[in-house]
Amino acid sequence: METNLKIQDELLLKMYKDMVLCRTLDERIWMLNRQGKAAIMASSQGHEAGQIGSVAALRKGYDQCYIYYRDLAVLLTLGLTPAEIIKGFVAKEGEPLSGARQFPTHGAHPEYGVINLSNVIATHIPQAVGAALTAKMKKEDRVIVAYFGDGASSAGDCHEAMNFAAIHKLPIIFFCENNGYAISVPLSKQMAVANVAARAEGYGMPGIEIDGCDIVAVYETTVEAVTRARAGLGPTLIEANVERYLPHTSDDDDSIYRSSQEIEEAKKRDPLRLLREQLLERKILDLKEDNYIHESAKEIVNKATEEAENAPYPGTTDFFKHVYAE
């Protein structure tokens, strides 16, 4: 897209550090699963540029993100600590989103403006539209982002939500992280059109397809959509084409439906590697600092793992609490 935005070196470096931390954390959680310590994990590896680049365009703690289960980097960059996140995966006390009542990464953190209510695909998209309706009715310039995968784009709730948001010009961004698979079902069996973004025209809003592994493109596109939304010009559908390097979840076996060559091919556009190369080339980063960034991330994740593993399980005394207002 045409843009005059110039992303600052400092921001780019910050996003790289976030991405390294997220990848390190993601790999650790996958390992915890393989060690039998984390019951379930949906990896974000390959999605990080889409998530970090879009969050960077938001006003943290003011704008709201309705996320789905593969949005580890959104949670991390909005403010959850690695220890809090790992506590979710090992279901320990102190997990801040649901008190370990829900699957990891699910629940809500109102101060950070992040909501991930349900495991049911696409149900959060109308809810996000409801939050955007609130912003409009209260005359706040808050922007809502609904994150979802290509799989969710087929659900009726997605259609109903987009239609309503466009009619009322609501301040929302529909951010589709298209990794080409709904668990095992490839894009060709999910839709007859070339991309999700094309549908936006049918709702009367802009639809923009971008390379979701290019963090600069993601950031700049999201900034434009945020500007539109804040100005009361209505919703935007952004389709960020990302990659999924691991199976759908730790319970899935992708070798049944995906060739290793295809995954190797996808790794050529690993968002972490692409950003690293760009930073090195532009001399925003040198090898020494890069090494330090990786070592720091490992240290943070090691400490977080230890803290989470040593934390107790939640007590059962509050089991019946929070069913109704008390």
Partner 1 sequence: MAVITVLEAIREAMREEMRNDDRVFIMGEDIGARGGVFLATEGFLSEFGEERIIDTPLAESSIAGIALGAAMSGLRPIAEIEFADFIWPTINQIVGEAAKVRYGTEGKLNAPMVLRAPQGGGVRGALYHSQSVEAIFAHTPGLKVVTPSTPYDAKGLLKSSIRDDDPVIFLEHKRTYRLVKGEVPDQEYTIPLGKADVKKLGEDISIITYGLMVHHCLEAAQMASLENISVEVLDLRTVRPLDMESIINTVKKTGKTLIVYEDNQALGIGSEVSALISQHAFEYLDAPVIRLGGPEVPAMPFSPPLENMFMIDAEKISTAIKELAEY
In the complex, what is the shortest distance from the CB of residue 85 to partner 1, in angstroms, rounded to a whole number?
16
Q: Are 42 and 244 in contact (CB under 8 A)?
A: no
Q: Which of 17, 60, 101, 230 touches partner 1 by CB under 8 A?
A: 101
Q: Which of 50, 107, 207, 271 binds partner 1 (CB under 8 A)?
A: 107
How many residues at the interface with partner 1, by CB under 8 A? 43
Write phi, then psi, for 43 (nearest 5 degrees).
-75, 145
> Least distance from C-beta 249 to partner 1, angstroms?
19
Does residue 114 sit in helix, strand or coil? strand
Does position 74 interact with partner 1 (CB under 8 A)? The reply is no
Q: CB under 8 A: which stretch of 70-78, 93-101, 243-251, 254-262 binds partner 1? A: 93-101
Q: Which is nearer to partner 1, 287 or 325 (CB)?
A: 325
For residues 31 and 89, the answer to whether their CB atoms sit within 8 Å is no
Return the number of the residue (312 or 324) whose C-beta is nearest partner 1.
324
> Which one among 10, 35, 36, 138 touches partner 1, defined by CB under 8 A?
138
Q: Is 142 a catalytic residue?
A: no
Cβ pair 145, 66 in contact under 8 A = yes
Which of 93/201 has CB closer to partner 1? 93
Does the protein bind partner 1 through residue 36 (CB under 8 A)?
no
Contacts of 190 (CB under 8 A, 6+ apart): 150, 151, 153, 154, 182
Q: Catalytic site residue 248?
A: yes
Taking CB under 8 A as the rule, does residue 58 contact partner 1?
Answer: no
Binding to partner 1 by residue 303, rule CB under 8 A? Answer: no
Verify binding: residue 161, partner 1, rule CB under 8 A.
yes
Asked if residue 325 binds partner 1 (CB under 8 A), the reply is: yes
Catalytic residue among 101, 159, 257, 258: 257
Residues 156 and 75 sit within 8 Å (Cβ to Cβ): no
Phi, psi of 105 (to 5 degrees): 70, 5
CA contacts within 13 A on the Cβ side of 36: 0
Residue 317 binds partner 1 (CB under 8 A): no
Provide φ and ψ at 321, rounded to 5°: -75, 155
Is 129 among the residues that bind partner 1 (CB under 8 A)? Answer: yes
* Residues 78, 43 contacting (CB under 8 angstroms): no
Q: Which of 131, 143, 205, 246 forms a contact with partner 1 (CB under 8 A)?
A: 131
- The kind and range of the H/E element at 305 are helix 287-310
How far are the Cα atoms of 213, 223, 259, 263, 271 from residue 31, in angstroms, in the given order?
A: 24, 35, 22, 19, 21
Query: What are the catalytic residues?
Result: 244, 248, 257
Q: Which residues of the chain form contacts with partner 1 (CB under 8 A)? A: 64, 66, 97-99, 101-102, 106-110, 115, 117-118, 120, 123, 125-135, 137-138, 156-157, 160-161, 163-164, 167-168, 321-325
